[in-house]
Amino acid sequence: MTEVIPTELRNDFLDTLNQKGFLLEQKTSKILSTKILSKSLPGLGHLKEHEVFNHFGERVEIDFLLTRGPWRFLIECKRTDYSWFFPKILDKPRMFYIIRDSSNGMEIIINPAKVQTTNYNIALKLDSPNKLKKKKIRFETSYGDIHDNIKQILKEVEAYVCNERFLDNFLIPTLVTNAKLYQVDYSEEHLDDNGNLKDYDELPELDYVIYNFPEMIRWDKGRQLLQDKHTSMSQDHNKSVFIVNVNHLESFINNFESIF
């Protein structure tokens, strides 16, 4: 027997169901398997789902591991009700930091980027989830909505590099989200004498952003535990996480080399 959801409950039912992250995971899985992996050359593409590692006694699960040529995309899905904003960094070169497993051990390779990179983020909840309109920004913010998920994916990176080798390949932490991504692209002329932003009225929407996580985490402190098989070629604590709107995941991966 089929139950019919009463009209007055339908929106609540859909809202509740849509809060669950597995729907975003299913969409991501379909994109990876049918639109990306199928276009890889034979032998150069491989997809694993829900890889689990025992890392220092803790169970760590990775949503997707996509291998495509020399790139290993470690992918975590994050559904949110927030839109994510990324202020640019003034007067600093655009760099990103990726991990490579070499014959000399684990290296962090610093590269110039052709796209904007940032060390800052703001999560705002909008009245309209799809459009940014005048007087439509709620004053509800979430520090953890972005920050905590970046730390989660870097924990997965730590677990992966402690348990797996990927010689001569690069590891790309990729956070896939339904969030709208916006760049706060300002210059010194937009700042007043007190350092406050003024006269700013445009927010470019981004397909993806390179976020350089500047904090020291256990991965940094724990490097000494890995010295027998891994070494780091960089003392910089930045780690790049690629944050991608799910609707642009296909183009991001297919054109990944264009960011160099």
pLDDT, tens digit (0-9, with 9 covering 90-100), for 91-120: 677 888 888 887 777 777 888 887 777 877
pLDDT confidence bin for 220, thresholds 50/70/90? low
Percent helix, percent strand, percent coil in the chain, to nearest 5: 30, 35, 35
Taking CA atoms, 250 is separated from 62, 117, 171, 207, in Å, by: 19, 20, 18, 11
- What secondary structure letter does DSSP report for 197? B
Question: CA dihedral in degrees (149, 155, 161, 162; nearest 10)?
Answer: -160
Considering only residues 107 and 82, tell me which one the structure prediction assigns the higher pLDDT: 82
Mean pLDDT confidence for 213-230? 54
| pLDDT surpasses 50 at 81 | yes
Name the nearest CA neighbour of 38 among 245, 253, 208, 259: 253
Give percent above pLDDT 70 in the chain: 72
pTM of the predicted structure, to 2 decimals = 0.83
Model pLDDT for residues 130-178, shown as the tens digit of each residue: 455 544 455 566 767 888 899 899 989 888 888 887 888 899 999 999 9
